[in-house]
């Protein structure tokens, strides 16, 4: 199901029925408010997920860089051992 369709179903479920007096807000105003809140909430969730993913990827990249440095040092040691053993 598409994102927009799910939000529309959620709005329809949450909004009061047409026969209920909305007091100071009409049903359409309530629906508009719910839509705005749902959209903002989705954007906030997406923003947080992106920030979390970025932080996680930065940590992973740092770990990979450190691992690469260790492997490079081990390769240098192995080359020196090979040179020393060939003499």
Q: Which two structure tokens, joined as six digits, stand for 74?
A: 């081990």
- As for how many domains the chain has, the answer is 1
The whole-chain average pLDDT of the chain stands at: 84
pLDDT tens profile 31-61: 888 888 888 888 878 888 898 899 999 999 9
pTM of the complete model:
0.53
CA distance 24 to 20: 12
> 22 pLDDT exceeds 60?
no
Counting other chains too, the contacts that 10-15 makes at CB distance below 8 Å and 24 or more residues apart are: 10/34, 10/38, 11/35, 11/38
Cβ-proximal residues to 78 (8 Å cutoff; 6+ apart), any chain: none
Residue range(s) defining the domain that contains residue 77: 3-86
């Amino acid at each position: 199901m598409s994102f927009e369709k799910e939000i529309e179903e959620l709005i329809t479920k949450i909004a009061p029925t047409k026969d209920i007096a909305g007091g100071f807000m009409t049903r359409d105003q309530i629906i508009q408010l719910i839509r705005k809140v749902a959209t903002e909430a989705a954007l906030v969730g997406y923003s947080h997920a992106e920030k979390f993913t970025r932080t996680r990827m930065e940590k992973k990249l740092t770990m990979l860089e450190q691992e690469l440095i260790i492997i490079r040092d081990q390769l240098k040691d192995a080359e020196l051992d090979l040179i020393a053993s060939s003499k």
